Amino acid sequence: MQFDVKVKDAVKSFGNLKAVNKLSFDSVPGVNIILGPNGAGKSTLLRCIDGLYRLDNGSLKVMGVDPYTDNGIRTRMSYLSDNYALYDYLDVKSNLKFFGRLYKMNDRNTIERSREILKKLNALEYFDKKVYELSRGTKQKIALCRALLNKPDILLLDEPTAFLDANSSESIRKLLQEFSEEKKTIIWVTQKLDEVTRFNCRVAVINKGNIIKDSTTSGLYSTILRNSFVNIRLASPIKHEIAKRIPGFYSSNSREPNAIKIKIRKYSDINKALDYLIDKKAFVVSVDYIEPLIETLSWRNNGV
Amino acid sequence: MEFEKSYAIAVKDMKEVFSSISIYGPMIGVPIFFSILLPILTFYVTIYAAPAIVARITQLNIIPSGLSGFGNISFMTYFSVSIMGPIFLTMPILTATVIAADSFAGEKERKTSEALLATPVRISELLYGKILASFIPTIFLTLGVFAIYGGITDALSLNAFGSIILPTIPWLMMIAVSPFLAIAGIGVVVLISSHVRGIKESQQISTLLILPVLVMPFISVLGIAALSFAFLLHLIIFLAIIDVVIIYVGVKSFRKESIL
């Protein structure tokens, strides 16, 4: 069975603001990233899918049922936002037991399942701690554990790594990658292009409440990589004359630079620059793609 | 409707309330303090100030018919039941509304409602769980407060007059009124919580509920109505109807979006 979400001509307004505006979207198995700037309607869409908001117009079905009226569907679907939403004065175990009970799990199963997930997230040691004693990253790991308690077929994620450090983000991504490999459905909304690159998956771009581009990670990158920048760091400085001749050279950090910024139009421009530097006996330490802010991208100008 | 889910919500909420003394301390401490202080004050008023008060009330010609003798013990009985009783009846409203306001508006304020509503819980299960979470501690606290206030009153009365005053039928009826008052308070908070932004607003508005109860001693003192068995029975029936209406309207009008 396919764990699908089908949205057709969905409209959700708050006063005069149309947060979701005639949006249509069908999920695919695996990771579905919905990318868009602040206020694009990402979170509203996710809340509609989870049945927290009722649509003003259009239709929305999760595995064939309306999630707003059919509470039972949430036994097979989970939702995690950037806000960990745990009860601070309760310990981790009590929090998870409470949510387990709402999924009609007995406490023993909840504890076993929680331990299994928290172990994978390197957070098992916090099982008996009060939530308010934990760091933001740990709280978010506990929240992810809560979202996975019921072994959902569909997982809805609203910027789950937004406020996390690199290690916490990575452990969460790793677990979600495992989850998606079971052919279950993840709908992940984010405004960070960096997040998109971590998965080889379907990417839908949302703006002003509507999907304006439906692509894949690689498809999106070939679009975004036009007219963007890459930083190249070298083990030792090179002469300015050599630096200036790097294909796409844009700027450098000094007369004899060890950090150079190049402008690229497509993937192969990076290779050309590296080939040139290697040819000039320079030692490349790192190549860092400078992620453009989602708000700064003009999708139309990029041929979208 | 699965009662286990409502029960889980109630247990969670009560655990939260009783997890920190800064939350439950004032909620329990203040009523207990008054349940000790007020009977002692009543006793001293009876002993030292009753004659003067009785003289003034007599001049006003508003002495309730049941207090023909109006000696010290009858004054203390009257004061303990008709004045103190309604004051202690405000306790269930205050406690219930404080817990209920935190329970609903608190979920909204702390943004935990999103996670709660993302589970397969129905609105009715959620509301009954929340109502239960406010109702159970309220009833225990009310019984405790009435027991302390009754016990101290009787101890002082026994010592001074050689006989106990409480319980009387109206006093027991007041205890019976308290669950119905508590449910009315909680029900109103449910309705309010879905239309306000946070705990403070919810608490501010819901504490207005104690005003009608505080009118009761004046009704008695002014002779408009005696707090008799019949009066209190009618009050229970009236509150029971109000409770059903408030809960029904609360459940029907509650929308998930309102606590997100």
- Looking at residue A292, which CATH number applies to its domain? 3.30.70.100
Q: Is the pTM here over 0.90, yes or no?
A: no
Q: What angle do CA A76, A77, A78 make, to 5 degrees?
A: 135
pLDDT tens-digit series, residues A256-276: 899 999 998 888 889 999 999
In a domain, A301, yes or no: no
A240 and A268 assigned to the same domain: yes
Query: What is the pLDDT, as a whole number, of residue B62?
Result: 54
A111 and A214 assigned to the same domain: yes
ipTM > 0.90, yes or no: no
A260 and A158 assigned to the same domain: no
Q: Are A85 and B114 an interchain contact pair (Cβ–Cβ within 8 Å)? A: yes
Question: A233 exposed, middle or buried (CB, 10 Å; 0-12, 13-18, 19+)?
Answer: middle
Q: Are A87 and B260 an interchain contact pair (Cβ–Cβ within 8 Å)? A: no
Q: Are B5 and A86 an interchain contact pair (Cβ–Cβ within 8 Å)? A: no
The beta-carbon neighbor of B120 closest among A94, A98, A103 is A103
pLDDT tens-digit series, residues A189-208: 998 887 887 888 999 999 99
Query: What is the pLDDT, as a whole number, of residue B119?
Result: 95
Query: What is the pLDDT, as a whole number, of residue A222?
Result: 75
A192 and A281 assigned to the same domain: no
Q: Is B40 within 8 Å of B33 (Cβ atoms)?
A: no
pLDDT tens-digit series, residues A8-44: 999 999 999 999 999 999 999 999 999 999 899 999 9
Rounded average pLDDT over B43-51:
77
Domain count, chain A: 2
**Domain end marker among A174, A208, A223:** A223
pLDDT tens-digit series, residues A214-239: 989 888 777 776 778 899 999 999 99
Instruction: Output A50-54 pairs: Cβ under 8 A, ≥24 positions apart.
Output: A50/A74, A50/A77, A50/A79, A50/A156, A50/B118, A51/B256, A52/A79, A52/B114, A52/B117, A52/B118, A52/B256, A52/B257, A52/B260, A53/A12, A53/B256, A53/B257, A53/B260, A54/B257
A52 and A133 assigned to the same domain: yes
Q: Which of A72-86, B12-26, B36-50 has the highest mean pLDDT?
A: A72-86
Closest chain A residue to the Cα of B113, Cα to Cα = A85
CATH number, residue A43: 3.40.50.300
Q: Is B114 on the interface with A (CB under 8 A)?
A: yes
A206 and A263 assigned to the same domain: no
Q: Is B209 within 8 Å of B188 (Cβ atoms)?
A: yes
- Picking from A228, A214, A211, A215, the residue whose alpha carbon sits closest to that of residue A297 is A228
pLDDT tens-digit series, residues A90-144: 999 999 999 999 999 999 999 999 999 999 999 999 999 999 999 999 999 999 9
Sign of the torsion formed by the C-alpha atoms of A156, A159, A163 and A169? positive
Q: Is A263 within 8 Å of A229 (Cβ atoms)?
A: yes
Q: State yes or no: pLDDT of A163 exceeds 70.
A: yes
Q: State yes or no: pLDDT of B185 exceeds 90.
A: no
In a domain, A302, yes or no: no
Q: Are B15 and A81 an interchain contact pair (Cβ–Cβ within 8 Å)? A: no
User: CB contacts < 8 Å between A and B, how many?
Assistant: 73
In a domain, A70, yes or no: yes
* Residue range(s) defining the domain that contains residue A123: 5-223
A198 and A283 assigned to the same domain: no
A61 and A172 assigned to the same domain: yes
Closest chain B residue to the Cα of A87, Cα to Cα = B112
A37 and A172 assigned to the same domain: yes
Q: How confident is the model at residue A304 (pLDDT cuts 50, 70, 90)?
A: very low
In a domain, A291, yes or no: yes
A236 and A99 assigned to the same domain: no
Q: Is A113 on the interface with B (CB under 8 A)?
A: no
Q: How confident is the model at residue A164 (pLDDT cuts 50, 70, 90)?
A: confident
Tokens in use for A213?
């581009």
User: How is residue A291 annotated by DSSP?
Assistant: P
Cβ contacts of B111 on chain A, cutoff 8 Å: 83, 85
Cα–Cα dist A250/B161, whole Å: 100
Q: Are B120 and A78 an interchain contact pair (Cβ–Cβ within 8 Å)? A: no
Residue ranges of the domains in chain B? Answer: 3-259
Cα–Cα dist B184/B179, whole Å: 9
Cβ contacts of A50 on chain B, cutoff 8 Å: 118
Residue with tokens 């579905």: A32
Query: What is the pLDDT, as a whole number, of residue A301?
Result: 44
**Domain end marker among A188, A207, A223:** A223
A107 and A244 assigned to the same domain: no
Cα–Cα dist A275/A251, whole Å: 18
A149 and A48 assigned to the same domain: yes
**Domain end marker among A223, A258, A288:** A223
Query: What is the pLDDT, as a whole number, of residue B147?
Result: 94
pLDDT tens-digit series, residues B221-237: 777 777 889 989 999 99
Of the listed ranges A72-81, B194-203, B234-243, the one predicted with least confidence: B194-203
